[in-house]
């Protein structure tokens, strides 16, 4: 399986509310949002209007128009690779983003990262 396939598999096993632990063993916080990657994503764009008959997943995605709340170049990278938004007390903004390629493992205990929390980009 390709590295991208492995990243997407890891992201697909993450659910909101899971604990996130960094590479040093520090608990970062809990998963607030899971976004699978879109390799064709180039820029942050508002989605098309949602049909009232749409699925719950589409309605949830449409509510997340402002995500990820980071500079445009990083937002494009997050959207292409997939990411987690993690609620945390370690950041002034109360949230950090985790690129899919920073997920080392997803277990019953939570999501383990391959970087320390200090290297995670903060929400703006």
Q: Where along the chain do its domains lie?
A: 3-119
Write out pLDDT tens, residues 48-72. 554 555 556 655 555 554 789 999 9
What's residue 41's pLDDT?
75
Write out pLDDT tens, residues 78-116. 999 999 999 999 999 999 999 999 999 999 999 999 999
pLDDT over threshold 70, residue 20: yes
What's residue 63's pLDDT?
53
Q: Which long-range contacts does 4-9 make (Cβ < 8 Å, 24+ apart)?
A: 4/37, 4/39, 7/37, 7/81, 7/82, 7/100, 7/101, 7/103, 8/36, 8/37, 8/82, 8/100
- Residue 7's Cβ-count burial label (10 Å; 0-12, 13-18, 19+) is buried
What's residue 10's pLDDT?
87
CATH superfamily of 3-119: PRC-barrel domain (2.30.30.240)
pLDDT over threshold 70, residue 117: yes
Q: What is the DSSP string of 83-97?
A: EEEEE-SSSTTSEEE
What average pLDDT does the segment 5-21 reach? 89
What's residue 46's pLDDT?
47
Give the span between the Cα atoms of 37 and 41, in whole angstroms.
Answer: 8
Question: Is 81 within 8 Å of 99 (Cβ atoms)?
Answer: yes
């Amino acid at each position: 399986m390709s590295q991208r396939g492995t990243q997407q598999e890891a992201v697909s096993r993450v659910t909101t509310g899971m604990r996130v632990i960094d590479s040093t063993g520090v608990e970062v916080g809990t998963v607030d949002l899971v976004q699978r990657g879109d390799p064709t994503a180039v820029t942050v764009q508002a989605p098309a209007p949602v049909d009232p008959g749409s699925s719950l997943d589409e309605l949830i995605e449409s509510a997340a128009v402002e995500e990820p709340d980071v500079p445009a170049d990083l937002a494009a990278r997050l959207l292409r690779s997939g990411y987690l938004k993690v609620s945390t007390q370690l950041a002034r903004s109360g949230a950090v983003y985790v690129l899919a390629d920073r997920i080392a493992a997803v277990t019953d205990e939570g999501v383990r990262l391959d970087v320390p929390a200090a290297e995670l980009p903060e929400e703006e």
